[in-house]
Amino acid sequence: MGVDGLTRLAQEALVLSLLVSLPVVGLAALVGLVVAVLQAATQIQDITLAHLPRLLVVAVALAVLGPWMGGQIAAFAAEVLRLG
């Protein structure tokens, strides 16, 4: 495999890492924004209130999206091993 093939695989790996992590990070950011707006509206500045909902949403998202994420990573690994 030449430099072009390795470059293509590296690019695919980076895109795959973004594709796999984006739903979880997006949900965490969305929940963080909602919690921040609620904290600003109610003037409750408790640090636990900011982190606990994000932690729960990320855990649920990983549980729900985990099989899809694993399948995408396994398919990429199989492609890399097939080419190598």
Q: What would the pLDDT profile of 10-57 be if each residue is shown by its tens digit?
A: 999 999 999 999 999 999 999 999 999 998 898 888 777 888 999 999
Question: CA 58 → CA 4, 29, 73, 74, 82, distances in Å?
Answer: 37, 10, 19, 22, 33
pTM of the predicted model as reported, rounded to 2 decimal places: 0.80
Answer yes or no: is pLDDT of 67 > 80: yes
Place of tokens 């093939």: 5
CA distance 56 to 24: 11
Give the range of the structural domain holding residue 70, as residue numbers without chain letter.
20-83
Residue 7 domain-assigned?
no
Is 38 part of a structural domain of the chain? yes
Count of structural domains, the chain: 1
pLDDT (average), residues 50-74: 94
